[in-house]
Structure 1
Amino acid sequence: MIYAVHINIMPLKELLDPQGKAVMSGLSNLGLRGVEDVRIGKHITLQIEAGSAEAAQKIAEEASQKLLANQVMEHFEITVAPAV
């Protein structure tokens, strides 16, 4: 079965996010008020062929740990669903 796997990677909350700060400043310069904080991350979509959702999750976790995310500076969340 093919699974659609979505991986959201964000900087750790303890670390500064220079891109987020730049966007925050830009929003303020545009006169857009009320935005309290901006954090910029990555969203990665994988199509994984696996025997179960749990197997697809395991593959995505290994890919995230070994290649997609820098665990010293980032955390990741994985969502698995059958592909449409």
Structure 2
Amino acid sequence: MYTIRLMPHNLTFLCDNNHTVLEAALNAGVHFPNRCQVGACAACLCKKTEGEVSYALEPMLTENEQQEGWIFACLAKPTSDLILQLD
């Protein structure tokens, strides 16, 4: 299990590597913006400031956006504890 912290709200929830960040947030009762849940609408786009994620399907992000830490929470599965910026 990995700990995921959403800033600036300082909300924390747990996620295993079999679920996406969005699935874990919703299962924990955390309000997390989302619409399509397949990486097309960008409603769940957030910035990873610490930690690592993996994708079964590569997200529609440029290399630069990925280097800046942007992730699609609906597709990203944690591979470590995460700190995410969600404004």
Higher helix share: 1
Considering the TM-score relative to the shorter chain, is it more than 0.5?
Answer: no
TM-score by length of 2: 0.27
Pick 1 or 2: higher relative contact order, CA cutoff 8 A, min separation 6: 1
Radius of gyration: which is bigger? 1
TM-score by length of 1: 0.28
